[in-house]
Chain A
Amino acid sequence: MPKVRLERVTKRYGKVTAVDCLDLTVHEGEILTLLGPSGCGKTTTLRCIAGFVVLDEGHIFLGEEEVTHLPPEKRDIGFVFQNYALWPHMTVYQNLSFGLQLRRIPKEEIRERVQEVLSMVRLSGMEDRYPRQLSGGQQQRVALARALALRPRVLLLDEPLSNLDAKLREEMRFEIRELQRQLGITAIYVTHDQAEALVLSDRIAVLNEGRLVQLGTPEEIYQRPANRFVAGFIGLSSFIEARVTEVEAEMAVLETEDGLHFRVPRDALVEGQAVTLAVRPEHVEVLGGPSGDLENAFQAEVVRAAYLGDSVDCRLRLGKWELRTQLLPGKIPAPGEVLWIYLPPEKLILIPG
């Protein structure tokens, strides 16, 4: 059942179109991530849903109700801000109870509900602290609690973890995910951090230049990126451009300008079609020695190798193309050294065009 539905949502700032005719449906109880580089329109989309930004065109529905022209205070949403936006002149308790008071909920019940959300975010006993007396992570959790205290129809999170340090950020990802699942609340999460999106989401909507580029589960997005942009933005990819020269029963053969041949699963490939191969670093296998008869095995020259502690990031030259791969730490190859590599056909990602 759709919980949030966007229909042809468009927002322009002067000549720039921040969100361009976006259609999107978020299901009840799922957490959907809007992912994209800065300026892709993800935050604007979220702010449209919240009502902070007025649309130029399109419609927004929460459940059955159209909220396109409703002001934010009447939309019944919870919003978590990047800078938390905890009111500095109010204690934690006052921050959490403010919205409840405005709804004229009896005092007793307010107290109960505040206690309840505080224990959810593991901050019981912090009621009388002021925001400035809390750590960044604690402030983050209060912000989350404030949004949850009202039991909103949908929880909107705008890069809520980007002000935290790396370690805390990783912990909070799981915490938010866990809380969202427990409460069964519908959530829309904005981030530019692909790792965060992969960990958190039921589904990811990848945006670029105001348009929806791909919508799918984290696995789908990672394993079958719809285009070069998604392949490059989520995970690392090296790209090789080629043309289909032969189509067999199960396999197809691709040839690059500089005469390299790749065998790939046939799928729906047609002879003569232009194709981009995306190669993930973890899918490049380094062979012990020459292996002339194996398909998709190549000699590649090491361009640069960087020691990363748990692995070695290695850039290889394959014909005119550059491939990135990760080697186990051990012997770090020197630039100019020649390695034999193997690209398993079933792991190669094919992008038309």
Chain B
Amino acid sequence: MRSGSSAVEVKGLGGGTVRFLPLFLLLPAVAFILVMYIYPFALSIVRSFTDESGGLSLVNYYKAVSLYGRDILFSIQVAILGTLISTVLSLALASYIRLSDSRMARLINSLSRLGIFLPYVVVAQMMRSFLAPHGLLNVLLANMGLVDIDSPLQLFNIRGLTFGFLWKETPFITFIVLSGLQVIDDTYIEAARSVGARTRHIILRILLPMIKPTIAIAVVLTFCTIVSTFTLPYMIVAGNPTTVTVDIAHRVTYFGDYRVASALGVFLYLIVGVMAVYYLRRTVREEVYGY
């Protein structure tokens, strides 16, 4: 990856006044993030450990676990399920598109990109109408005789939610993975074929291992997105169990309870924790040191 190295060479160009120029250029953005992100971030952690009288306490965590313990597990479950399935689908789809040069493959490629930039609020509305008990999916299945007219599929639960996430995230991972695969020179594939590798060997032993870092980033970002998304579960999951993000909204809008909401927020941080830290370390290292 091209990165830090080019910036290092510039140093010779500038004199004394230039030394503070980059900081000056970065100041507005950095200041904004500090005030609007880091401050409330810290606040959310502090608030989660504070009781009604302002003292240090674990009461919020106790409440969060006893009231929403099941939802915390539900969030984790959806995130793992969604990430796993969308990753597998994406790897297969991207490998297929990379290795095939048929017109169908090109069509599939443009088709798969369609949903990448659709906002979650639109996806959520789409899923509401598509997956509803009397929605288009059930209409079609009922007319094909696959579903009983009197008891259509109930999908406003983990199944529908996962489907919604898959719908949105699979194109995203496919896009990232495919950009990685397309950078790989054809000769690496030809070299494998010349020593006797068949398609499955090429995919599993050459192509995917070569872009492991790209795949890791895509997986991490997808996991974090699924855990963080509020819109989709809020609009399509009916009743319980639901995700932590929905619980946070309930806590705030119905009870005005920012402390338990913050404790739930910290649970969200913990769920994405390992992955997020991996992502941060990797990206910073790449940008700063170039590897």
Judged by CB atoms under 8 Å, the answer to whether A and B touch is yes
Interface residues on A, range: 20 to 34
Hey, which chain A residues are within 8 Å of B196, CB to CB?
Answer: 73-74, 76, 99, 102-103, 150
Contact B209 A81 (CB under 8 A): no
A74 to B195, CA, bound (A): 9
Hey, which chain B residues are within 8 Å of A150, CB to CB?
Answer: 195-196
- Which of A50, A82, A83 is within 8 Å of B194, CB to CB? A50
Segment at the B interface, from A85-93, A190-198, A210-218, A281-289: A85-93
The verdict on A81 contacting B193 (CB below 8 Å), with A88-B210, A89-B209 known, is no
Segment at the A interface, from B4-12, B80-88, B158-166, B182-190: B182-190
Most buried by B among A51, A82, A102, A103: A102
- Which of B190, B191, B201, B212 is within 8 Å of A89, CB to CB? B212
Query: Distance (Å) between the CB of B180 and the closest chain A CB?
Result: 13
Hey, which chain B residues are within 8 Å of A81, CB to CB?
Answer: 187, 190-191
Hey, which chain B residues are within 8 Å of A82, CB to CB?
Answer: 187
Whether A52 sits at the interface, judged by CB under 8 Å, is: yes
Hey, which chain A residues are within 8 Å of B201, CB to CB?
Answer: 102
Hey, which chain A residues are within 8 Å of B188, CB to CB?
Answer: 85, 87
Hey, which chain A residues are within 8 Å of B195, CB to CB?
Answer: 73, 78, 98-99, 102, 146-147, 150
Whether B198 sits at the interface, judged by CB under 8 Å, is: yes
Hey, which chain B residues are within 8 Å of A102, CB to CB?
Answer: 195-197, 201
- Residue on A with the closest CB to B208? A89
> Which residues 192-246 in B have Cβ within 8 Å of A in the complex?
192-198, 201, 205-206, 209-210, 212
Q: Mark A44-85, 1 if CB is under 8 A from B, else 0.
A: 000000111000000000000000000111101111011101
Hey, which chain B residues are within 8 Å of A103, CB to CB?
Answer: 196
Main secondary structure of the interface of B (DSSP, over half): helix
Interface residues on B, range: 10 to 19
Contact B193 A89 (CB under 8 A): no
Q: Mark A223-249, 1 if CB is under 8 A from B, else 0.
A: 000000000000000000000000000
- Residue on A with the closest CB to B199? A73
Query: Distance (Å) between the CB of A159 and the closest chain B CB?
Result: 12
- Residue on A with the closest CB to B209? A89
Hey, which chain B residues are within 8 Å of A51, CB to CB?
Answer: 193
Q: Mark A245-281, 1 if CB is under 8 A from B, else 0.
A: 0000000000000000000000000000000000000
- Residue on B with the closest CB to A52? B190
Contact A79 B191 (CB under 8 A): yes
A208 to B78, CA, bound (A): 62
Contact B193 A87 (CB under 8 A): no
The verdict on A87 contacting B187 (CB below 8 Å), with A73-B194, A77-B194, A147-B194 known, is no
Q: Mark A114-152, 1 if CB is under 8 A from B, else 0.
A: 000000000000000000000000000000001100100
Query: Distance (Å) between the CB of B207 and the closest chain A CB?
Result: 10
Query: Distance (Å) between the CB of B194 and the closest chain A CB?
Result: 4
Query: Distance (Å) between the CB of A95 and the closest chain B CB?
Result: 9
Contact B192 A79 (CB under 8 A): no
- Residue on B with the closest CB to A103? B196
Hey, which chain A residues are within 8 Å of B206, CB to CB?
Answer: 87
A83 to B190, CA, bound (A): 12
Contact B190 A73 (CB under 8 A): no
Hey, which chain B residues are within 8 Å of A99, CB to CB?
Answer: 195-197
- Residue on B with the closest CB to A99? B195
Hey, which chain A residues are within 8 Å of B212, CB to CB?
Answer: 89
A residues bordering B, Cβ < 8 Å?
50-52, 71-74, 76-79, 81-83, 85-89, 98-99, 102-103, 146-147, 150
Could you list 13 A-B pairs, sorted by A, with CB under 8 Å?
A51-B193, A72-B193, A73-B195, A81-B187, A82-B187, A83-B185, A85-B188, A85-B191, A98-B197, A98-B205, A102-B196, A102-B201, A150-B196
B residues bordering A, Cβ < 8 Å?
185, 187-188, 190-198, 201, 205-206, 209-210, 212
Known: A72-B193, A73-B194, A89-B212. 5 other contacts (CB 8 A): A73-B195, A73-B197, A83-B187, A87-B188, A98-B195
